[in-house]
């Protein structure tokens, strides 16, 4: 018989007093306590099992008693077994799919003040160095220098990142993909909808951090008060049945030879020991629930082997099951540790300095040291395998302390209870369960009504069948020839009916009406009513499930989906808070796992490029990290809107294809904003450059036209000057040369005058053409200025 443990062992002890026997006593207490419940905010084991079985298609008829037998009468008509129709499973899967597709936008930052100050100095130094390099560099003009400053401002505002934060983001992204953390969060969200709890564990196995989703049925908490956080419990027990191979894989480095012999020689039958009373609080699982549990209780028996006696004060525990698995009980508890806060003085400056030391530290009073004693919390762990093996009974490797609070610690378990105001949780399955039970009960009645619906039945009086005819022959004539042959005198020759015509005897209707169509239709209408009521209670409309009728409008469907999302948004918000805390816990676990070593892994960038990361564990573990989230419903709608606008922008050639690919592959909403803004700026710069080049081409073309016209004018002026000179020369020659007798001087003057008129006409035509060219050039220049003004007024 195992040692009885009546109360939890004392924790405020010196470290030397916490010997092996003390540690075993804690594990034994937990081993005997797992079947008891003292939580005021968690549902009982049986209530959780009923919900899980219901989702898995197993009904508990005792839980349905309020539906099947509302008057609680001792009646034999209450069915002993009915068929299950999982109408609520579609709603659960809908929310599960939405959670899987929902964006979880996080960003890792350093939170401890010393590291933040160092980040400020590093950023300042990097910025000053970049400014000096920009000043020293030769820039052809002020415009290129301003462009370089804009680029630098964008980099240090959005893209610059401290190396430690970059390492943290890189490691977290790597483990999220390697450990399939998103899938485990999705499974945990299903737990939250079924039983109102979700729990995760972060631990170190084989030197590597692990992340696991925990079954709420196997996790028991004690001394957690009214807190709805699993990590606030002082004692946590996790029970499971493992194969011997898994036990050796996990604890191979701490198992002794005798432990391995114990695992090798497992008994072939159940091995149990008696467990007596632990306390008198009547906290044991309700006996009536256990004895009356139908359908799904077999799994409880097989996995946990709870056999209650009539008094309810004793039970039997079994350390093995029929499948060869062995029970593993992992216990985590908060113990007390004595530390000393020592005040000393800096030998150079004389300033006071404070440091924490273990309880064995001796102060040097000659140096002026003074001590102050504190008792702080310290997380411990211990594992009991079967009945005899005890391993890893020690302070936890990862304490999850903070530099600002050395007493802060928890066990690596993170979870939330979806309750309201210090009460037990009322999960989504609890909301829909009464309607599911009513649907099953009504459908059972419908099945029976359909089975009893025989329609109209012919009533055949054998006294009217002709003598010598069989029933088959009569049915043949009735069905084939549609003739109902009767013999009215058949009974007239028999007994007391002699001389009487059979047709004169008292007759009833020839048809039995067994039709139950109205009754069946009523049940079908009731089934539809129950489904509508379930949707109303759960807040998941038919439109949200994709069931849209042809008479509904687009605006009505959108409004229905929006209101439905408001109703269920609190589930996603609480789930996101758990995810944030779980990832922070995993970061602390990764720091402890990587400390003193390094992590090298290969990863793929968003553009498909492959890189190898080499992370120094000591540098990574020297900081405290926190996660910043932005995963509200507004962000989700903004994301959908941005994706639609990005598609439209790419179709209208306002966004490049490369930027579109970055938007689709980016995990961060803020990064999407920056990608779109940067690409928009690049597109505007390219368009401005193209416009400037086009204007330069037009100006060059106008200048070339002006040059050609100027050359034409100069050529015409040269020709006019030559003509004038020729005319003057002719006039001078005319005065000197004697004219023929038949050619008078008046004729010469008339000819010269005619020549002058022709020259004047040519000059007038030339001036008119010059003025037209000038007007055309002015119109073109004004048109260019109007286009520039219109381009500058286009909104970005």
* Environment class of 433 (CB within 10 Å of its CB; exposed 0-12, middle 13-18, buried 19+): buried
**Does residue 525 sit within a domain?**
yes
Query: Please, what is the Cα angle at 433 between 569 and 197, to 5 degrees?
Result: 50
- Tell whether 266 and 400 lie within a shared domain: yes
Name the residue range of residue 704's domain: 673-792
Q: What is the pLDDT of residues 557-600, one digit of tens each?
A: 778 778 888 889 899 989 989 998 998 888 888 888 887 766 76
**Does residue 233 sit within a domain?**
yes
DSSP secondary structure string, 121-149? HHHHHHHHHHHHHHHHS--SSHHHHHHHH
**Does residue 94 sit within a domain?**
no
- Tell whether 348 and 259 lie within a shared domain: yes
**Does residue 626 sit within a domain?**
no
- SS3 of residue 352 by DSSP: strand
Mean pLDDT of the chain: 75
**Does residue 586 sit within a domain?**
no
647 backbone φψ class: left, alpha, beta (φ>0; ψ -120 to 50): alpha
Last residue of a domain, one of 505, 531, 558: 558
d(CA 568, CA 576): 13
d(CA 229, CA 581): 10
Q: What is the pLDDT of residues 374-419, one digit of tens each?
A: 899 999 999 999 888 999 999 998 888 776 778 888 899 999 999 9
Q: Which of 271-280, 355-364, 384-393, 683-692 has the highest mean pLDDT?
A: 384-393
**Does residue 328 sit within a domain?**
yes
pLDDT bin (cut points 50, 70, 90) of residue 614 is low
Q: Which long-range contacts (CB under 8 A, 24 or more apart) does 535-543 make?
A: 535/91, 537/431, 537/432, 537/435, 538/88, 538/91, 538/428, 538/431, 538/432, 539/564, 539/567, 539/568, 540/91, 540/94, 540/95, 540/564, 540/567, 540/568
| Nearest of 588, 581, 589, 631 to residue 188 by alpha carbon | 581
- Tell whether 403 and 474 lie within a shared domain: no
| Nearest of 620, 602, 597 to residue 163 by alpha carbon | 620
pLDDT given for residue 3 in this prediction: 40
Among 201-215, 381-395, 658-672, 719-733, whose mean pLDDT is lowest? 658-672
- Tell whether 246 and 339 lie within a shared domain: yes
- Tell whether 320 and 275 lie within a shared domain: yes
- Tell whether 230 and 368 lie within a shared domain: yes
pLDDT given for residue 316 in this prediction: 38
Among 157-166, 365-374, 656-665, 754-763, whose mean pLDDT is lowest? 157-166
- Tell whether 356 and 283 lie within a shared domain: yes
pLDDT given for residue 2 in this prediction: 40
Q: What is the pLDDT of residues 330-344, one digit of tens each?
A: 999 999 998 888 888
d(CA 420, CA 406): 31
Count the domains in the chain.
3
Last residue of a domain, one of 508, 534, 558: 558
| Selected residue with higher pLDDT from 274 and 418 | 418
pLDDT bin (cut points 50, 70, 90) of residue 280 is very low
pLDDT given for residue 501 in this prediction: 53
d(CA 318, CA 387): 9
Last residue of a domain, one of 383, 407, 426: 426
What is the CB neighbour count within 10 angstroms for residue 318? 19
- Tell whether 409 and 462 lie within a shared domain: no
Q: Tell me 229's DSSP state.
A: B
- Tell whether 405 and 301 lie within a shared domain: yes
**Does residue 108 sit within a domain?**
no
pLDDT bin (cut points 50, 70, 90) of residue 477 is confident
Mean pLDDT of 548-561: 73
**Does residue 293 sit within a domain?**
yes
pLDDT bin (cut points 50, 70, 90) of residue 200 is very high
Q: What is the largest CA-CA distance in the chain?
A: 179
Residue 652 has pLDDT above 50, yes or no: yes
- Tell whether 465 and 411 lie within a shared domain: no
- Tell whether 352 and 484 lie within a shared domain: no
pLDDT given for residue 302 in this prediction: 31
- Tell whether 551 and 402 lie within a shared domain: no
Q: H/E element holding 47?
A: helix 45-55
């Amino acid at each position: 018989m195992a040692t009885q443990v009546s109360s939890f062992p004392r924790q405020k002890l010196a470290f030397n007093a916490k010997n092996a026997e003390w540690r075993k006593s804690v594990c034994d207490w937990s081993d005997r306590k797992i079947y008891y419940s003292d939580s005021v905010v968690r549902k009982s084991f049986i209530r959780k099992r009923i919900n899980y079985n219901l989702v898995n298609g197993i009904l508990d008829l005792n839980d349905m008693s309020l539906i099947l037998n509302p008057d609680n009468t001792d009646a034999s008509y209450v069915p002993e077994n009915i068929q299950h129709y999982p109408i609520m499973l579609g709603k659960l899967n809908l929310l599960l799919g939405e959670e899987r597709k929902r964006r979880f936008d996080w960003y890792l930052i350093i939170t401890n003040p010393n590291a933040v100050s160092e980040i400020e100095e590093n950023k300042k130094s990097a910025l000053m160095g970049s400014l000096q390099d920009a000043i020293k560099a030769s820039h052809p003009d002020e415009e290129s220098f301003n462009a370089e400053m804009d680029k630098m401002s964008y980099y240090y505002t959005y893209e610059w990142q401290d190396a430690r934060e970059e390492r943290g983001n890189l490691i977290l992204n790597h483990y999220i993909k390697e450990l399939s953390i998103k899938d485990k969060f999705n499974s945990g969200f299903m737990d939250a909808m079924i039983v109102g709890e979700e729990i995760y564990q972060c631990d170190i196995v084989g030197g590597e951090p692990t992340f696991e989703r925990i079954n709420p049925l196997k996790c028991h908490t004690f001394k957690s008060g009214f807190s709805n956080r699993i990590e606030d419990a002082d004692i946590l027990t996790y029970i499971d049945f493992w194969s011997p191979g898994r036990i050796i894989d996990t604890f191979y480095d701490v198992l002794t030879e005798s432990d391995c012999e114990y695992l090798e020689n497992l008994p072939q039958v159940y091995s149990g020991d008696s467990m007596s009373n632990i306390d008198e609080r009547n906290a044991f699982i309700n006996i009536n629930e256990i004895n009356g549990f139908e359908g799904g209780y077999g799994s409880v028996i097989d996995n946990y082997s709870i056999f209650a006696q009539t008094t309810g004060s004793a039970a039997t525990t079994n350390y093995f099951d029929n499948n060869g698995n062995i029970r593993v009980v992992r216990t985590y508890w908060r113990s007390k540790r004595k530390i000393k806060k020592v005040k000393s003085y800096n030998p150079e400056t004389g300033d006071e300095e404070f440091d924490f030391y273990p309880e064995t530290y001796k102060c040097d009073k000659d140096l002026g040291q003074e001590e102050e004693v504190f008792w702080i919390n310290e997380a411990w762990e211990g594992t009991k395998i079967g009945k005899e093996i005890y391993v890893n009974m020690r302070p936890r490797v990862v304490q999850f302390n903070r530099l600002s609070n050395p007493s802060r610690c928890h066990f690596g378990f993170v979870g939330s209870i979806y309750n309201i105001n210090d009460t037990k949780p009322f999960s989504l399955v609890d909301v829909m369960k009464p309607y599911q039970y009513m649907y099953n009960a009504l459908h059972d009645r419908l099945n029976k009504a359909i089975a009893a619906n025989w329609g109209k039945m012919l009533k055949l009086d054998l006294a009217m069948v002709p003598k010598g005819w069989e029933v088959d022959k009569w049915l043949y004539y009735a069905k084939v020839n549609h003739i109902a042959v009767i013999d009215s005198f058949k009974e007239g020759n028999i007994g007391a009916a002699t001389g009487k015509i059979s047709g004169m005897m008292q007759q009833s209707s020839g048809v039995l009406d067994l039709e139950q169509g109205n009754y069946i239709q009523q049940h079908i209408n009731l089934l539809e009513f129950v489904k509508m009521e379930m949707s109303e209670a759960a807040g998941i409309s038919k439109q949200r499930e994709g069931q849209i009728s042809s008479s509904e409008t687009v605006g009505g469907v959108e409004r229905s989906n929006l209101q439905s999302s408001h109703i269920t948004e609190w589930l996603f918000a609480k789930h996101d808070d758990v995810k944030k805390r779980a990832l922070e816990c995993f970061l602390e676990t990764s720091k402890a796992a990587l400390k003193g070593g390094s992590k090298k892994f290969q990863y793929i960038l968003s553009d498909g490029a492959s890189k190898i990361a080499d992370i120094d564990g000591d540098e990574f573990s020297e900081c405290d990290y926190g996660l910043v989230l932005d995963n509200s419903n507004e962000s989700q709608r903004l994301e959908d809107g941005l994706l639609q606008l990005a598609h439209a922008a790419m179709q209208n050639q306002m966004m490049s294809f490369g930027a579109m690919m970055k938007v689709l592959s980016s995990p961060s909403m803020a990064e999407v904003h920056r990608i779109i803004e940067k690409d928009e700026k690049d597109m505007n710069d390219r368009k401005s450059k193209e416009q400037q080049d086009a204007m330069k081409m037009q100006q060059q073309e106008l200048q070339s036209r002006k040059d050609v016209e100027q050359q034409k004018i100069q050529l015409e002026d040269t020709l006019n000057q030559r003509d004038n000179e020729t005319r003057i020369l002719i006039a001078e020659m005319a005065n000197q040369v004697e004219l023929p007798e038949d050619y008078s001087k008046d004729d010469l003057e008339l000819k010269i005058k005619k020549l002058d008129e022709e020259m004047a006409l040519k000059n007038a035509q030339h001036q008119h053409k010059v003025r037209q060219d000038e007007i055309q050039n002015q119109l073109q220049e004004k048109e260019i200025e109007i286009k520039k003004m219109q381009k500058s007024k286009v909104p970005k």
